[in-house]
Chain A
Amino acid sequence: MVNETEPPSPERRDFLKKACAAGIGTAIVLVPVAAGITVLLDPLRRKSAGSEKVFVTTLDSLPEDGLPRKFPVVASRVDAWNKMPNTAIGAVYLRKTNGANVEALNVVCPHAGCFVDFRADKKDYYCPCHNSSFNLDGRIANPKSPSPRAMDVLEVEVRNGKEIWVKFQNFVSGHREKIPA
């Protein structure tokens, strides 16, 4: 028989009790954890903002010699609960190619996301963070550049013969392929 001070040892027939106690104990903690994880994973379910073409500038503000100029891209930006109209959401390099066509490059370096500079003296793009360099058309200039791909070319449309509209998009950095962010 069990005395007053010595606790009884667990017995086999207590199995059901033990299973219930452990089961309920686990389940009740899992409920708040599950609710939390659901909210934590919410960003995975959000689609990135649709990229409609935005007006950037007019043809006559681009130099005739085919050298690029940098323009801010102004559009409506959604940041979680905030919706901000007319906000700078990024920047592009625009340049004229063979007279009438326009080429647009996202200023973000595909390597790690820094903004690349245009070097007028060397006529190339240069990333100040890890020294990637790109030709005027965006292709990698120096093969030692750490960037995994060329600068991201963006879709451009010239409307009414002079308005330059760009489908502004960011792409995931660090990959060889262009994956929309």
Chain B
Amino acid sequence: MKKFVDWLDNRTGGKALVHDALYENVPGGSRWRYVWGSTLTFALVVQFITGLFLWMSYSPSSQTAWESVFYIQNVMSGGWLLRGLHHFTAQAMTVLLVLHLMQVMIDGAYKAPRELNFWFGIALLLLVLALSLTGYLLPWDQKGYWATKVSTNILGITPGLGSILQRLVIGGPDYGHQTLTRFFALHAGVIPASVVGLLVAHIYLFRKHGLTPKRPLRKKDEAFWPDQVLKDSVACLAVLAAVLFLVIWPRLKDAHAPMGAELGAPADPSEAFSAARPEWYFLFLFQFLKYFPGTTEIIGAIVIPTIAMIVIFLMPIIGGWRLGHRFNLGFLGALLAGAMLLTYLAVHKDRNDPAYQVAVRDAQRNAERVRELATEGIPREGALALLQNDPVTQGPKLFARHCASCHRYDGTDALGRVPKEAAHASDLKGFGSHEWLAGLLEPAQVASSKYFGGTKFKEGKMVKFVQKTIAGLKPEDKAQLPKIIAAVSAEAQLPAQSEADRKDAAAIEEGRKLIDSETFRCTECHQFRKKNEDATAPELTGYGSSEWLKDFIKNPAQDRFYGERNDHMPIFGEGGRLDEKSLDLLVRWLRSQGARPHNGLTLR
């Protein structure tokens, strides 16, 4: 071994290099306050290692970026850990950068002759932030997509070359494949290479000028190895422990939550995303921009940050003046305090913004749903298609857009918001189910806002029938009512009730006869299973079935439904109000949700 080492040293001079590296003098002995540079180098090494392995499975294009990240995160073994380490180490780096900068400022390590090294350091800080910014887009989820759009738009308003740069960075007039390939090349190639170059220069200059010790020296001088190395590695271990804690944190809160970094729903250019926020360390800028409305935006986005950066760059020179060091410390302190205050304001505002909370919940729901769907395999056109063709995702949105101005879904607009106005039409949660029909035939409920309360039928025949005839039924007749409910509900062929319908076959058969009976007289107004020219109320044949619902929504004013009595319900089949695909998704959602599976009638 020794022979080999000597052989190698003879040809490389490596021993002297290692000796220089390890026995660098630390004036006044090792101290904890000197660890920040090392922790940053360690974090960067972690990013290079994890980034390289992520690279092996990542595929930058708008149909594969999210999909490959999904695959890494949820399918590949250890993928969640790898991605989690990369994601949270990036966050840790931002904190470490600030700590390193503060230590350098407070100890005066930025002043002559170390100006150049300070500037390298600031350049490194900006490059690391650029890595964060470019990395945020790569998973191509809603959050990254919409947040990054804002940053590139800000680039676009920069005077001079702004709009040209914007177009070059995103690879065209709009986001797409070229945006990802370019961001990826920046994130994994151009910027890391620049960081390495600058870091070598940074460390070289640091070694050349030596450490700037905190005076007065407390102990005698020591070598870098082993005391300072031990302190540095313990600090790095603490950073790693913090990162690992953040990786498993979601699981600590909720036993079923996925561990590691979040992955939202795939980017959807057609669906604005109001929960979009930049990473937390850019939140202060996001908040700052709010104070510069309209055309003054450029002042907040470009002018003031540029001035602040110029002052920071001039700090080594200012530091040479009388009181200059104090000014620098004051300026940096004010900057950090301001950033913290703005961050707090941004978080506080979001916490108290119900619309934002709804958007976040919606985003989480979509993210969870697409994870479920994608586990079964993603079509070639990408995971977005899974959500766009999914009734559970699209149904509530379509309901909120087209139906919720009159109807309700469990008292809400189906997206969790409660409209201020009272409902003008029935609550459609569980439409056609046993429960829903039982409520309709309940004298106390039929005229409530859940059924006819908001419509002109409040005073209509059906309400009177329920409130008088049904309320006044003899007990033995009333006992027949569940059969009628089962019979009408069976027409809907709801997936959730298929088991109940099968068990109730005999009761349903009886119920069908009762519909036409003297006691119940349903067919006096409703058409059921045979032609009835005089029918004035919606047909009960196929009531609530997919076909019935689609026909009804397309045109409720058909003779088989409400005819000319139709109360304000738009004819959705006309004027392109609702296309076939949307109608299908809406109806499939309405029929798949709300109805509870149960064991059929209990009276038999």
Contacts and interface: CB of A to CB of B under 8 A. Distances in A.
Interface of A: 2, 4-10, 14, 17-18, 20-21, 24-25, 27-29, 31-33, 35-40, 42, 45, 78, 80-84
Interface stretch (B190-198, B232-240, B546-554): B232-240
B68 interface: yes
9 contacts: A4-B27, A10-B226, A28-B42, A35-B82, A38-B78, A39-B82, A81-B64, A82-B378, A83-B376
Q: Which 8 A-B residue pairings sit nearest by Cβ, starting from the closest?
A: A83-B377, A38-B78, A36-B53, A21-B230, A24-B233, A81-B71, A7-B223, A42-B76
B229 A32 contact: no
B52 A82 contact: no
Say whether chain A's binding surface is mostly helix, strand, loop, or mixed.
Answer: helix
Contact of B50 (A7, A14, A21, A32): A32
Interface residues of B, number: 50
B165 interface: no
Contacts of B79: 39, 42
B515 interface: no
A112 B42 CA distance: 45
> Most chain-B CB neighbours within 10 Å: which of A18, A31, A81?
A81
Contacts of A35: 50, 53, 78, 81-82, 85
B77 A45 contact: yes
A25 B229 contact: yes
Nearest to A24: B233
A29 B45 contact: yes
Contacts of A78: 377
B593 interface: no
Given A4-B27, A24-B233, A40 B240 contact: no
B379 A82 contact: yes
Nearest to A87: B380
B115 interface: no
A82 B72 CA distance: 13
Interface string B52-80: 11101100000010011011100111110
A141 to B, nearest CB: 40
B241 to A, nearest CB: 9
Contact of B378 (A10, A45, A81): A81
A42 B379 CA distance: 22
B42 to A, nearest CB: 7
Interface in B74-113: 75-79, 81-82, 85
A14 B68 CA distance: 48
B379 A84 contact: yes
B204 interface: no
Contacts of B23: 7
A39 B53 contact: yes
Contacts of A10: 223, 225-226
Interface string B367-408: 000000010111110000000000000000000000000000
B29 to A, nearest CB: 10
Contacts of B71: 80-81
Contact of A2 (B26, B220, B240): B220
Interface in B198-252: 220-223, 225-227, 229-230, 233-234, 236-237, 240, 244
B135 to A, nearest CB: 16
B601 interface: no
A21 B77 contact: no
Given A36-B52, A84-B379, A2 B45 contact: no
B25 interface: yes
